[in-house]
Amino acid sequence: MSESETVEITGHLMDQGILSRVLDDIREYGGDYTIDRFDVGRETDDASHAVITVTTEDEEGLQRLLMRLQTRGVNMVDPGEAEVAAATMDGVFPDGFYSSTNLDTRVRIDGRWLNVGNPEMDCGLVLERNEHGAPHRVFTLPMSDVRAGMQVVCGASGVQVSIPRPAKAAGTFGFMESEVSSEKPQAVLVRQVAEGMREAKAAGKRVLWVGGPGVVHTGAAPAMVAMVNAGYVDVLFAGNALATHDIEAALYGTSLGIDLAMGSGVEHGHEHHIRALNTIRKEGSIAKAVENGVLTGGIMHALVTHDKEFVLVGSVRDDGPLPDVYTDVLEGQRAMRSHLTDVGFCLMVATMLHSVATGNILPASIPLVCVDINPATVTKLADRGSSQARGIVTDVGLFLEQLAVELVPDYRRA
Amino acid sequence: MSESETVEITGHLMDQGILSRVLDDIREYGGDYTIDRFDVGRETDDASHAVITVTTEDEEGLQRLLMRLQTRGVNMVDPGEAEVAAATMDGVFPDGFYSSTNLDTRVRIDGRWLNVGNPEMDCGLVLERNEHGAPHRVFTLPMSDVRAGMQVVCGASGVQVSIPRPAKAAGTFGFMESEVSSEKPQAVLVRQVAEGMREAKAAGKRVLWVGGPGVVHTGAAPAMVAMVNAGYVDVLFAGNALATHDIEAALYGTSLGIDLAMGSGVEHGHEHHIRALNTIRKEGSIAKAVENGVLTGGIMHALVTHDKEFVLVGSVRDDGPLPDVYTDVLEGQRAMRSHLTDVGFCLMVATMLHSVATGNILPASIPLVCVDINPATVTKLADRGSSQARGIVTDVGLFLEQLAVELVPDYRRA
Amino acid sequence: MSESETVEITGHLMDQGILSRVLDDIREYGGDYTIDRFDVGRETDDASHAVITVTTEDEEGLQRLLMRLQTRGVNMVDPGEAEVAAATMDGVFPDGFYSSTNLDTRVRIDGRWLNVGNPEMDCGLVLERNEHGAPHRVFTLPMSDVRAGMQVVCGASGVQVSIPRPAKAAGTFGFMESEVSSEKPQAVLVRQVAEGMREAKAAGKRVLWVGGPGVVHTGAAPAMVAMVNAGYVDVLFAGNALATHDIEAALYGTSLGIDLAMGSGVEHGHEHHIRALNTIRKEGSIAKAVENGVLTGGIMHALVTHDKEFVLVGSVRDDGPLPDVYTDVLEGQRAMRSHLTDVGFCLMVATMLHSVATGNILPASIPLVCVDINPATVTKLADRGSSQARGIVTDVGLFLEQLAVELVPDYRRA
Amino acid sequence: MSESETVEITGHLMDQGILSRVLDDIREYGGDYTIDRFDVGRETDDASHAVITVTTEDEEGLQRLLMRLQTRGVNMVDPGEAEVAAATMDGVFPDGFYSSTNLDTRVRIDGRWLNVGNPEMDCGLVLERNEHGAPHRVFTLPMSDVRAGMQVVCGASGVQVSIPRPAKAAGTFGFMESEVSSEKPQAVLVRQVAEGMREAKAAGKRVLWVGGPGVVHTGAAPAMVAMVNAGYVDVLFAGNALATHDIEAALYGTSLGIDLAMGSGVEHGHEHHIRALNTIRKEGSIAKAVENGVLTGGIMHALVTHDKEFVLVGSVRDDGPLPDVYTDVLEGQRAMRSHLTDVGFCLMVATMLHSVATGNILPASIPLVCVDINPATVTKLADRGSSQARGIVTDVGLFLEQLAVELVPDYRRA
């Protein structure tokens, strides 16, 4: 082993088990460490500060370990200057490119620190210079969007990240520790999510929902409609399925209404589904179907009526799909990114695919709650790097019902 | 193959897939069949009637197949007379004993049909004669309770069962088909369970609850207390855990109250738990702890205060246990049996062990709903013969919260 | 109610519970029925035959119910002639279009029956006439691919379907009834899947695999490579994740190899992942990476080396993606369809998304086994119309390990 | 706040996240802390040492917090002398009794340290003096077994615990970090469990198995029999179900054998089950049934034949039960405790109830692996204080099959 670097981290290291994970990472990358200094907060609320020298076999391994450690909020003591190389092919980063985190990030170029405007994990950092050649801005860019000639940050030098303050300190929205469990007092959790949404709105931020078709299947569409009407749904990310099932329920109200009311599930193979798709395709878009009086109820109708945004991104299992659906997933991702502005709270309900997709592009600073009856969805989300994710394993239908009761004063179950 | 018998069954055979299961059973037991006659209900609501000749290799196999088929409601066309043999040892049935079903059953002895008072599956049928030697009554008895000399029905001759009318026909409480799913409109299901309880009470019947500690962990104790107070909990079957966690929460209100309110789970290893047990053991019983003012809140307190019944049966994982707990499981089963009188509705919540135990002793005629976040609990219950079980896969905390809202007019969340 | 039609169905109606489901469908669609005739197979192996008159309120409801019933294999006694209408817009079927099933289907046009070559559910049936105006062929077409002017079958008249013979009768591959369970003797199931693959190969058919990244995570890549080498993987449908994780493991062998060997999961946020993607993107394709000696091991390498086919379709959560990935899901679906030729067996492993997507386009006549540790995946597949699906709830890693032992004579664990 | 105490802990505090949990405990108990000193291991393998002053509102709260912290391995810097009080009632500890941990423990009495022979969590520590009044020994005793007059340790003074060395340092058996996951390379895990068993045997220790009926249902009985024969099963803890299903399969070999081989599950309601119970009850015990040639195969037969020990403890859902079953759960717990001598490895398979029960009485120093297809079982075990538990979420049938291949040289699947 010959390459080493001294790094540091500050925060509630032990409360949150961060230091354990940092040391795990070092071992996992085949590195070694010496803890040079560890100032632990003496009192309950003090932050700790650790200085660690990490050693690896070669320089490449060191750079990769340093990038890995940055996902935990660990920075080099002496960050130096960022190195930049030009991409030589479209859609391909230069070798040794810096793989970004979703933490607040700044990059030192020509002796100046530039903040990265849109932190997103697993992207490259692209440097733009102004007409005088001075560093102008650094932004994250997904691999598929890079173009030959762009200047891309390489290695970990000159990059610094900062971890968000722990939720507890930051306000009331710190309801759950790291664990995912189905045995929590659910009524309290509902209230805390409601509080989180209210705080976001009070701060002038927007609330992002990510939903799966389970929202409709569990009978929660009326609750969600009430929350759209009350202004608690600013943006919806979903797939073809949520929108289609919602529209299906709205179009074939009587029959499907009975099914929903009687609790007998109706899935695929029913021509309701395919016929609903055909109907909206004929109109040209969901908005036009609303305008033309074809679609008169449900979640999608409420969103259109209140001028709320939605991004529907397709998947390989889709029928139809609805005309509003992005069938190209990269275009879908771009559309999702463009709707993240001013989002201050994110609620994910009953979808693993779109939750992970949203987790991939969401900055770590945005509070994120994931509700699913399947614990695996929440675990998956946290595993993939959305460490701020808080999970609630519960029934989606009852959860949204109660959330509507909390948020919408005159909401009554039909 | 040389032994055969002609059997018949009447009911909504196809709606409920019963006939498929009957034919599966015949094959599973290595038998063969000929369908002699099959009168299918012509109209939607008509019952069907099938006559089938089953054939097996030998007499013993035939008797066993006939007993098996009776669990489906299949009777011999010519039932004949019951055969009876004396038990020769305590706790052991005679060879070839009739293994009972949980269906309404009658037995023909000396040319007379006697109704079996307490249908329970997997028991023996014991015949009592009066002082004149005339058949007096037939009752189910579990294997461990049989005593040498008792007269036990052997083989399937002379035994007839009848399947309950399908729930749909019987009234409003037929909310779910055979499937277990987490994607059902939950609010409707809550309402249907409330309706089932109200119907039972209106008919002068009692409501039996079977609960696990999840009731307390999910924060639903206040909801359950409200339902005890409102008269919707007549009997509770549970283990040491539900009662101890409930008492723990009541005794160490402040600290554990915070835990519950903050959503951080507190399980074992905490001395709260073991200290709560010691406290109640010192009082001698839960009732005395209430009387002495030691226990002043929670589910167990509510039951004692309202003179409701509870049966707590221990398990091998118990600490303590509470002084009220039956540590002998056979005594526990006997206590449970003795509390089934007049039960007209059974709700099982968040416990696989006690749900299956209750399913084992409950007549098929009592409506049964099982609520659990884990689909396996419901499936297990149905697999083990409680075919009347209706399953709801949902969050127990939110479910009980909403059930209390349905049942208790002035119930408001704290 | 005034519209009615007489329909019939032949098969092992009671063994498989088909008739129950047919009657459920009729009720669900608000219809009514009279069973005119029901000839039940007298002996164990005889097929049954039912004639049923169904009645609905109006003609549109009747047509839709008839289409629904066809998904169960129910045909009109008097099918009549197919009605055809021209599509007036691209991507939109005419109103009242016939929504196809995945059963073998034939259509009567101008008094002639034409077989539908590629049965697929939820498509339209498009009629092509030859230069003389005579009916030439009828084929399924997904909604998004229809073009204005195409002749599309409308209503259920003139369409007949036939259900596949039950697997039991057809050969040894009938291992599981309808139930999904984790409590089955797994060794037997492994052997039956091996047998199904061998039969397909012996019949000159191809074996289709559908896989998720769990194949790599559970350490089963070597087993799968051995089966590719032995000729038991002709086509692979997957997403970006399986291929990327496989390539990641191959490229960063040492480090990730240790992780895999030590059992510590490595998910997202690791720059391995994103770096592996960049490396292959630089090469231009997986095949070129193999050709250039960059990729030298793993599943994708084995497929390329043996000239096997793979279709990778992207999803909204993808990073990268690999250059071979279809980012447009409709194009991905088309590519999958074009690789179904001569497929005689399909094994789905550890992926809900791609399993459902494949189930959507697979004819019902192709044996289909779905292996997942999550029972919901299998249930979902069956719910969505792939009624031929057999589910095995087991550990994917151990399952593939044992399958390789069964299929590859000299396979030994490393 | 006025009561405080200085405590210390030594070990790999950060690697294992112990310190985070200690601080969580302090907060949870409403206490406060100051970290007086924290010497972190400088090199990768060095242990850390922390000295913390904890403060609570009152003395009782302090004592309880100190006991709680001992479950993490935290001791008082100045432990002082143990305080002892006499129990005044049978089955009830004195107020303020010390609630034990499952860690190696010693107690200072009259200036001497006495080791506690049988560490078990949630018990009292009972002091025995010799005829001269000198402290003779201290042992754990469950609450229900305490008798009036016994001397019981109260408060945390004079008690010291030590955490086991981390498995990694201790040898090869450290395969898994804290996480429970179904996505691990399973073949490696099988090998590590085999290695753990071989090490235990090589060290002259015994291997304890804890099993549920899933062992039989998944077809793994032959594999387990092979491992009994090969000497890798010294003791079995189970319930009535495992033994009965095993015996059922052995007695009704042909028919049930077919069921197992065909993969169709047979659960309850079948008279096989109840008849098998009656047969063994008639013999008087499983051993006599083997002796008399009634029981000639299966797991229980193998255990009897090889003079291996088993403890079957009943539960409220049992039928029968078998004559060997402890129907009193406290007697069952005592029997289990008495069979823990010299156990050096514990494997838990497919049972939540008996796994938790065994976890309750097992010292923390015994390596413990829990295998289940349900992640909740493993999580539950760890939650309840068995922090040494390693979990493998996998298919039990395939796991045991492969374990037999690893452990038994000539094991071949039938």
Confirm if B394 and B371 have CB atoms less than 8 A apart. yes
CA B207 – CA B219 distance, rounded (Å): 22
- Block residue for tokens 């459902």: C356
pLDDT bucket at C104, cuts 50 / 70 / 90: very high
- The alpha-carbon radius of gyration of chain C (Å, integer) is 23
Q: CA dihedral in degrees (B338, B342, B344, B345; nearest 10)?
A: -30
Residue numbers in D near A34 (CB within 8 A) = 42-43
Show the tokens assigned to C155. 């209503």
d(CA D203, CA A379): 39
What are the start-end ranges of the E strands in D32-134?
32-39, 48-56, 75-76, 83-86, 104-109, 112-115, 124-129
Phi and psi, residue C243, nearest 5°: -65, -40
CATH 3.40.50.10690: which residues of chain C?
167-407
Which residues between 30 and 69 in chain A have a beta carbon less than 8 angstroms from any beta carbon of chain D?
32-36, 38, 40-44, 50
User: What tokens appear for B59 in the block?
Assistant: 């007499």
Q: Which among B70, B77, B83 has a CA at the least distance from the CA of B127?
A: B83
In contact, D96 and D62? CB cutoff 8 Å: no
For residue D246, the distance in angstroms to the closest alpha carbon of chain C comes to: 13
Cα–Cα nearest to A281, from A306, A235, A318, A236: A318
Q: Could you give the residue range(s) of every CATH 2.40.420.10 domain in chain A?
A: 79-163
SS3 D130: coil
Q: C-chain residues within 8 Å CB-CB of A282?
A: 89, 92
pLDDT at residue B158 in the model: 96
Does B218 reach chain D within 8 Å, measured CB to CB?
no
The chain C residue lying nearest D399, using CA atoms, is C398
pLDDT band at B349 (very low <50, low <70, confident <90, very high): very high
How large is the average pLDDT for residues D86-115?
Answer: 95
CA-CA distance, C254 to C248, in Å (whole number)?
Answer: 11
- CB of C81 within 8 Å of any CB in chain B? no
Residue B325: strand, helix, or coil = coil
Q: What are phi and psi of D58, to 5 degrees?
A: -140, 170
Condensed to tens digits (0 to 9), the pLDDT of residues D233-285 reads 999 999 999 999 999 989 886 333 334 433 334 443 467 888 899 999 999 99
Q: How far is D227 from chain B (nearest CA, A)?
A: 26
- Please state the CATH superfamily assignment of the domain spanning residues D1-77 in this structure: LOR/SDH bifunctional enzyme, conserved domain (3.30.70.2690)
The alpha-carbon gap from C89 to the nearest alpha carbon of chain A, in Å, equals 8
Instruction: Compute the CA torsion angle A218, A219, A220, A226 (nearest 10 deg).
Output: 180
A252 in contact with C, Cβ within 8 Å = no
| Residue from A175, A180, A182, A393 whose CB has the most chain B CBs within 10 Å, to mutate | A182
Count CB atoms within 10 A of the CB of residue D303: 25
Half-sphere exposure of A97 (CA within 13 A, CB side): 34
- In chain B, the residue whose alpha carbon lies closest to the alpha carbon of D330 is B327
User: Could you tell me which residue, A211 or D176, shows the higher pLDDT?
Assistant: A211
Lowest mean pLDDT among A400-414, B142-156, C186-200: A400-414
Cα separation, D220 vs D401, in Å, equals 6
Which residues contact residue D285 at a Cβ distance below 8 angstroms, ignoring those fewer than 6 apart? Answer: D323, D324
Which of B187-196, C20-29, D287-296 shows the highest mean pLDDT? D287-296
**How far, in Å, CA of A224 to CA of A402, rounded?**
11
**High-pLDDT (> 90) share of chain D, %:** 61
The structure tokens 């609903």 sit at A276
Q: Which pLDDT value is given to residue C393? A: 83
Quote the distance between the C-alpha of residue A220 and its chain's center. 23
Average pLDDT over residues C179-188: 60
Q: Which residues of C touch B168 (CB under 8 A)?
A: none
Residues counted in chain A: 414
pLDDT, tens digit (0-9, with 9 covering 90-100), for B317-348: 999 999 999 999 999 999 999 999 999 999 99
Cβ separation B28–D264 shorter than 8 A: yes
Instruction: List helix spans (H) across C252-324.
Output: 253-262, 271-283, 286-291, 299-305
Strand runs (DSSP E) across D3-111, as ranges?
Answer: 3-11, 32-39, 48-56, 75-76, 83-86, 104-109
In chain A, ranges of CATH 3.30.70.2690 domains: 1-76
Tokens for C361, please give them: 């386009």
Which range, B170-184, C162-176, C339-353, D1-15, has the best average confidence (pLDDT)? C339-353
User: pLDDT value at position A385?
Assistant: 61
Model confidence over D189-240: pLDDT tens digits?
Answer: 888 999 999 999 999 999 999 999 989 888 899 999 999 999 999 999 999 9
Whole-angstrom distance, CA of residue A344 vs CA of residue A171: 14
Residue of D nearest to C215 (CA): D183
Alpha carbon of C134: minimum distance to chain B alpha carbons (Å)? 43
Q: What is the mean pLDDT of residues B135-163?
A: 95
The domain over range A167-407 is classified in CATH as 3.40.50.10690: yes
ipTM metric: 0.90
Reduced to 3 states, what is the DSSP secondary structure of residue B33? strand
CB-CB under 8 Å, D19 with A16: no
Sheet holding A75-76, edge to edge: A32-39, A48-56, A3-11, A75-76
Nearest-5° angle of CA A72, CA A76, CA A82?
105
Statement: residue A258 has pLDDT above 50: no
User: Is B14 in Cβ contact with C23 (below 8 Å)?
Assistant: yes
> Measured between CB atoms, does C384 come within 8 Å of chain A?
yes
**Smallest Cα distance from C174 to chain D, Å:** 9
CA distance A296 to chain D (A): 44
Q: How many residue pairs bridge chain B and chain D with CB atoms within 8 Å of each other?
A: 172
d(CA B9, CA B49): 6
Residue bearing the bigger pLDDT, B86 or A19: B86
Determine the CATH number of domain A1-76.
3.30.70.2690
Interchain CB distance below 8 Å, A373 and B182: yes
SS3 state at D117: coil
Structural Rg of chain B based on CA atoms: 24
- Kindly tell me if the per-residue pLDDT of A58 is higher than 60: yes
Q: Among A1-15, B118-132, D267-281, which stretch is predicted with the lowest mean pLDDT?
A: D267-281
Say if CB D271 and CB B68 are below 8 A apart: yes
Fold of D79-163: 2.40.420
Amino acid at D246: D
% residues pLDDT > 90 (chain A):
61
pLDDT mean across residues, chain A: 86
- The reported pLDDT for the residue numbered B217 is 84
